[in-house]
Structure 1
Amino acid sequence: MAYLLSWAAWTPYILSATGLGILDFRFPAILGTTQFLGVLPGAYLGPITSAFVVTAIADGRPGLRRWVGRMLKWRISWRWYLSVLVGVPAALVITSVALFDGAVQLPPVTVLAAYLPVLLIQMFTTGVAEEPGWRDFATPRLQRRYNALVGTMILGPLWGIWHLPLFLSEWGGWPNTTWLTVGEFLAGAIGISVVMTWVFNRTGESLPVVMLLHVSINTFMSVAWAEMFPADANAESSARVVLLASVTAALVTLLATRGRLGDRPAEKRETPAVG
């Protein structure tokens, strides 16, 4: 359902001059990007809407209360928020320094001033549109049926593939998109998913922290990264930074947790009702 709703809503964007150019019109830009009108409606229609509908049908009101409860579970230790806010940029900077021989510049004040506002916008756009479906709905069910690692290995590719039509648009760098670009993105999605599953479990299934982790990557790469690494600022380099940082973080998480990713024993885990 998430694929059907999102892909149908994205079709005009992909066919427009912003994408394949089959339709002779462009989506207007808001805050310098066409994605607010071209991508966001389809994102909202997909994962979060599908999760709501299926939860309501399968689990009824008790299931919806659990689903919404995870979205509103923000009262956890401030250390988690600080770790994500600092850790994500630090990991991306360290990875970039390793790739580009230490060529890094301090970002200008304007970037620092824009960072938090963009982060908040991302929380209410990308974060709200995607994570109530992928992590809030899918992760608990997949962990219950399999385990944290196997569930993540199923969910990561599904999450990445959901984005595929957007590679035929401005979002994915069309017409310069290559199969390598797509492959790197999918691998990065799987790596990020491993870390997100661990954070989701270790915070007692707090969706706000998982959303913050997701959008911190997007925000840093879109707002600060090019200013800090201007000599290497291009789409291919930024994609490889995210890929290497994600895979490295995933491997460290897997080794540190012995593949359990913070999952609790079945008898102690909150078990969603099954219709």
Structure 2
Amino acid sequence: WYAVALLLPAMLALLTGFANMALGAAAPGLAEVTWSGLLAVFAVRLVNPMDGPLGEEPGFRGYAVPLLQARWTPLRSAALLGVVVSLWHLPLVLFGQLSLIGLPTTFAITFLYVWLFNRTGGSVLLTFLFHNSQGTFTVGSFGFSGAEADRAELIYFAVVVLAVLTTVLLDRGAWRAAPASAIDSVLLRSGSDPIHR
């Protein structure tokens, strides 16, 4: 699961980048990517409280997912959280730091976070590493520009949706019921029985 958390985001970015290059896009930034640069970015993101992983994972996966899963299935919980996470990222669109296609992509990738969280028994650490990896080697690392960059974002959205559909189709059990360790036990002890709708 550590390999999934660390490598799946890079695989999604690589699939996107190479698909875009196959369609004729130039990738000038790829030649400038170095292992030392990637490790430096990864390390800074591990400890930067103003960055996404450290600022978001305790709340979204550490608090919200167990709370949602005490009432609903993982699939419905992921959909509900996906809406919240997308709204959370809306200011980035308004300030030009995220494109509009970034919102449905954010919604879709939330399903992968919930899947990983549940498959690792409710590990926030693994979703934190997934998030950190997702922001370390990105589609932006290819250096696409103009229409090619826009196309890359659409391809990335399609690749993420394909990854989500793969987990839903090939790992159906993971979407029907969350493991006990990934459900809010405080809510259950208070007398609210889980209603998996």
Q: Which among 189, 193, 197 is matched to residue 106 of structure 2? A: 189
Q: Which among 186, 189, 198 is matched to residue 115 of structure 2? A: 198
Structure 2 unaligned blocks of 5 or more? 191-197
The amino acid across from 1:224 in the alignment is S
CA distance in 2, matches of 1:241, 1:213: 20
| Residue 126 of structure 2: aligned partner | 209
Secondary structure of 2:186 counterpart: coil
Alpha-carbon shift at residue 169 of structure 1 (Å): 1.7
| Residue 8 of structure 2: aligned partner | 87
| Residue 119 of structure 1: aligned partner | 42
Check conservation: 1:159, 1:189, Cα contact below 8 A: yes
The 3 A distance-change label for structure 1 pair 217 and 110 is: closer
Alpha-carbon shift at residue 213 of structure 1 (Å): 1.3
Check conservation: 1:100, 1:232, Cα contact below 8 A: no
Check conservation: 1:221, 1:238, Cα contact below 8 A: no
1:252 lines up with 2:173 in the alignment: no
Alpha-carbon shift at residue 147 of structure 1 (Å): 0.9
Alpha-carbon shift at residue 167 of structure 1 (Å): 1.8
> After superposition, what is the alpha-carbon deviation per residue over 1:212-260, rounded to whole angstroms, capped at 9, x for unaligned?
212222221276332xx579763x2342243122111111111112263
The 3 A distance-change label for structure 1 pair 127 and 269 is: closer
Check conservation: 1:201, 1:263, Cα contact below 8 A: no
CA distance in 2, matches of 1:272, 1:108: 49
The 3 A distance-change label for structure 1 pair 256 and 128 is: same
Which protein has the larger Cα radius of gyration, Structure 1 or Structure 2? Answer: 1
What TM-score results when the alignment is normalised by the length of structure 2?
A: 0.78
Q: Which among 122, 136, 159 is matched to residue 85 of structure 2? A: 159
What TM-score results when the alignment is normalised by the length of structure 1?
A: 0.58
| Residue 175 of structure 2: aligned partner | 261
1:273 lines up with 2:194 in the alignment: no
Q: Percent identity?
A: 27
Alpha-carbon shift at residue 154 of structure 1 (Å): 0.4
The amino acid across from 2:56 in the alignment is E
Secondary structure of 1:145 counterpart: coil
> After superposition, what is the alpha-carbon deviation per residue over 1:16-70, rounded to whole angstroms, capped at 9, x for unaligned?
xxxxxxxxxxxxxxxxxxxxxxxxxxxxxxxxxxxxxxxxxxxxxxxxxxxxxxx
**How many residue pairs end up in the alignment?**
183
Secondary structure of 2:174 counterpart: coil
Check conservation: 2:75, 2:175, Cα contact below 8 A: yes
Check conservation: 2:17, 2:139, Cα contact below 8 A: no
| Residue 43 of structure 1: aligned partner | none
CA RMSD of aligned residues (A): 2.8
The amino acid across from 2:13 in the alignment is L
Check conservation: 2:58, 2:124, Cα contact below 8 A: yes
Q: Which among 143, 150, 159 is matched to residue 76 of structure 2? A: 150
Q: Which among 140, 145, 161 is matched to residue 66 of structure 2? A: 140
